[in-house]
Each structure stands twice: as structure tokens, then as C-alpha cells.
Amino acid sequence: MGWNMEMPRISQDPTEPAFVQDPYPHYARMRALGPLVFWEEYRMPCATTNAAVMAVLKHRGMGRERRPALEVPARLAPFYAIEAHSMLELEPPRHTRLRGLVLRAFTSRRVGALRPEVATLCDALIDAFPEGPFDLLPAYCTPIPVTVIARLLGVPDADAPDLLRWSTGMVGMYQAGRTRAMEDAAVAATAEFVDYLRCVIAVKRRAPKDDLLSELIAARDGADRLSEEEMVTTAILLLNAGHEATVHALGNAVARLLADGWVPGNPARAAEEALRFDPPLHLFTRQTYEDVVVEGIAIPAGTEVAALLASAGRDPAAHDGPDGFDPERAPKANAAFGGGIHFCVGAPLARLEIEVALERLFARRPALRLAGEARYAPIYHFHGLAALPVRP
């Protein structure tokens, strides 16, 4: 495969502690080498600049659906059986059909109507803050998105800890250096999550309510509708992607604001700047279905290519002073939620949650300060904190 010899190569262990805490110098080195760089440890070319990342995300000669299909060990079959119905892993025409049906239920009206409820939830969590130092992640950042998505789907708040446990177990499959124990935990979580949702869906078929799962059951495109397997997978996708990403994005945003001594005057701008500056997902892969050219570099069919979303946000060709954090920066499109047909369907909800959570936190606790070092968890290619120690 001499093609990859024509592009620069770089080595960096994604599990190295120094990289986990600050991967941005590595991204800068990669951008300096070119728009596409072969990352030795991932054994694939990576788009490093904003232009190259967006080209990879939007190129119709690439996609998420593996061709040929991925062969997996039998022990992992339950996990990948769910992935087989995920619109994140599919291409047209199946992707078009699934996304269209989901968007019929996941409307901007439904998301926008959640603003008062999100604010009330934030205030209740703030009222419960202890008087001394505490970890803001479990006290605030984690319960907001998991509670909101649980209510949106129409499941009891009391079930949120199980949803969180299953979500955490499943997303371990996407981490660098995953172990057999992580794989076993993901399969077990998948089985429990599927059984739970099948029961919930059965109840809502008999007695639908004003919630997203009931809307998904009713969603139609002519005579077409979602199968039960597609509904289960969609609910899992919304929970896993919506919860995991939003917790990290919110925690990263609060940590940066507190470290720099900012009280955001415009929470919407602060949220968008945090997504650009330190997004929750750093690497997103696609596969070439044909020979393609990206930024003048030829890539043959059957090649897996990574889009470095976090590197795109620090590209000086796309953002002025990109290594500086400015919560008053005028909003500009960034790659935090992806691009093309796989642009995150939950982006409006995530933005709403982060904006409201920042507004309520700094309005109610303007004197909040860091009580120790906010360190990132070893969960690459996600990027989020292990703890966020604060004091009132």
C-alpha cells in the first residue's frame, strides 16, 4: 500500500497521559505536516485542517457503513447487532429513511419547549450543592443531559442511573486501547438496555403519551415506519451520543471558564466557543467507497480515514487566534457536531442544554471557583474530565 508513503507520517500513543491531558500540541504538529497525515498508531490517514475535515465529512464517496461488512467475534455480536440499525453507521437510502422518520419526532419545537424544564432542573441541582468543596461533574454536569433525554424519551427519572450505567458501558467500545473487560461490559450493557427498551416500547404502544418514544412509534413516511429494532437502536443512539457528548462538553466549558475567571455574559456564545475550543469528540472515522481526492491527495477505495474534529477547531486558517478561549467570540461554524449527512441530529438539544446550564450556574453561583486541578479522563477519542473539583 504505497499510497500512504506519499503523505507525512506521525506517531503518538493516544493513551499516553500527557496526550490525554492536552492533545492540542499534537494536532498542531499534524497540521504543520499537511492537511492529511498518516497516524501510525491508528494505521490510517487523518484530516487535520478544517478544510480537510469538512471535505472528509461531506464527501459522498465516503461513508460510515463498512463495505464489506465488518466481521466481528460472536461474543460481540449483540453490540454490533444494535449498530446495524443505527443511522450513525448507515448510508443512503437506509440512512435517509431513518433520519427522516426520527426528525419527524425530534422536532425543533419539541427541543425548544424543553428550555424552561432544563432551567428548572439546573436550579434544583444548584440548590442541592453542598456548602464545602465538591465535584461538579456528578453534582451538575452528568445529571442534566441524562435526565433531559430520559424525560424526552418518556422514561422515569428514577431509571436515569440505569441509563447512565448502560451508556457508559456501551461507549467503552469506542475508546482507544479498549480491553476485553470493556468489551464484555459493553455487551452486557447492550443486552440490558435492549430488554429495558423493548418493555418500555410495548407499554407505549398500548398507551402512547406526549414523548419522543411514542412519537417514534407513530412516525410514518407514507406506509413506512420504524421497526422495533430501529426504535430501540435510535433510543440507544440518542441516549449514548446525547449524554456522553453533552456531559463532556459542559464539563470542559465550565472548567475553562473557571480557570480563566470568566463569567459568561452571553451563555450561547460561551457554549459555542467551548465546543470549538475543547469539543467532546475528537476523532470520527469514515471509509472510502471509491478512489477519492482530498485536498489534492489521492486515497484509494476501502481506506478508513479519520476526521480530527478537535484539530479543525484549532486551525488558524479557519479561526482567528484559535488557541485562545474567548466566550464573547462571534459564533462561527465549527466541526464539533460533525458535518454532511451525519451532522449530529441532537445538536440543537446539546446546545440548549449547555447554554441553559451555563446561564443558570453562573447566575446562581457567580463566586464558584476551582478547588483543584480539573484532569481529563483517559477515554480518547472522547475528551472529557475525570473530575471537576469546585468550591462555592
Bond before 93 cis per omega within 30 degrees = yes
Handedness of CA 56, 61, 65, 68 (dihedral sign): negative
3-state secondary structure of 225: strand
pLDDT in tens, 190-211: 999 999 999 999 999 999 998 9
**298 pairs with which residues across the strands?**
293
pLDDT in tens, 264-313: 999 999 999 999 999 999 999 999 999 999 999 999 999 999 999 999 99
| pLDDT at position 5 | 45
Residues in the chain: 392
165-185 pLDDT per residue, tens: 999 999 999 898 899 999 999
pTM for this model (two decimals): 0.94
Write down all domains in the chain, each with its CATH number in brackets: 2-391 (1.10.630.10)
Torsions phi, psi for 384 (to 5 deg): -155, 165
pLDDT surpasses 90 at 3: no
> Measuring CA to CA, which residue among 200, 231, 199, 197 is closest to residue 216?
231
| The pLDDT of residue 54 | 98
pLDDT band for 242, please (50, 70, 90 cuts). confident
pLDDT tops 80 at residue 227: yes
